[in-house]
Amino acid sequence: DPNEDTEWNDILRDFGILLPKDDIEKITKGDLIFCLLFLVKPYERMNLEELKEAENYFDEADRKAIEMYMQQCLQEWKCLQRIQKYGELREICGEQYVKEVTNAPEDVWVIIHLYRSSIPMCLLVNEHLSLRARKFPEVKFLKAIVNSCIQNYYDRYLRTILVYKTGEIKGGFIGAAECGGIYLKVEELEWKLAEVGAIETDLEENPQKDIMNMVKLSVR
C-alpha cells in the first residue's frame, strides 16, 4: 500500500519508485503497474550499504539473485585488478630474473630491457618503455642492468629487449639496428612490440613507413 507509512515505502521513495506522500493521491493504476515493473532487479541500482539496509525485504529468490550479482561484480573487479596490475617500468636484478620473467604468470607478457646506464640510447629506450608501460598496464615491463644478468655482455648487443610469455622467449631486439637506430620513436617501439604479439596497438600502420618511403625517394 503506497499510503502506508513504512520503512519499505521510505526506501522506495528514496529510489524514486514511489512518489512523495503529498503526491500519493495523484497515482493512477498505470503508475502502480509501472512501479511494480520497476521493482525488477532493484539490487542492480543499489550500493553495498543500500543492499544491507534492504536485505530483510528480499525473498529467497531475490537473495540468490543478489548473491549472483555480487559474485559477478567481484569477478569483474578481479579482472580489472589483473588488467591494471603493472603500469610501470620496474627495475630488477639478475637474482630476480627467474621469478619475475621466467616464472611470470602464463597469461602475462613480459618485456625486459637489458641496458647500461652509461649508454644514452639505453636510457632513451627506458623512457619509451616507461611510457608504453603506462599505456599497456596488463603487460609487465621490466629493466635490468645487463651485468647483473649476463657477465661480459658486449656493448654492441645493447640495446637488448627480450619478450617472454609462459617462460619462453617469443621475440627480441638485439643491438641498435634491430631496436630502431639512434632516432627511435616511442611509436616505432610500440609497433615492434605489437608485431611479436606482446601488446595490442591502436596504431594503424608502421610509423617507420613514411621514413622508409622518404629514403627510397632519396635513393632514386
Closest CA to 39 of 24, 63, 18: 18
**Length of the chain in residues, anyone?**
220
CATH number of 90-200, picked from 3.40.30.10, 3.40.50.720, 3.40.50.2300, 3.10.150.10: 3.40.30.10
pLDDT digit string, tens, across residues 97-123:
999 999 998 889 999 999 999 999 999
Verdict on whether the full-model pTM lies above 0.95:
no
The answer to whether 122 and 159 have CB atoms below 8 angstroms apart is yes
> CA angle, corner 152, sides to 149 and 153, nearest 5?
70
Under the banding of pLDDT at 50, 70 and 90, the label for residue 196 is very high
Closest CA to 11 of 27, 28, 43: 43
pLDDT digit string, tens, across residues 19-57:
566 554 554 444 444 444 344 455 555 666 666 666 666
173 φ, ψ to 5°? -135, 115
Angle of helix 120-135 relative to helix 186-195, nearest 10 degrees?
70
The answer to whether 140 and 94 have CB atoms below 8 angstroms apart is no
pLDDT digit string, tens, across residues 121-158:
999 999 999 999 999 988 999 999 999 999 899 999 99
Q: What is the C-alpha end-to-end distance of the chain, expressed in Å? A: 87
Query: Pairing mode, if any, of strands 160-165 and 110-115?
Result: antiparallel
Amino acid occupying residue 119: I
For the chain, domain boundaries: 7-83, 90-200
Under the banding of pLDDT at 50, 70 and 90, the label for residue 1 is low
Long-range contacts of 49-56 (CB under 8 A, 24+ apart): 53/11, 54/11
Long-range contacts of 43-51 (CB under 8 A, 24+ apart): 43/69, 44/69, 45/15
The answer to whether 173 and 161 have CB atoms below 8 angstroms apart is yes
Stronger pLDDT, 205 or 70, i.e. the higher one? 205
pLDDT digit string, tens, across residues 50-61:
666 666 666 677
The pLDDT value recorded for residue 77 is 62
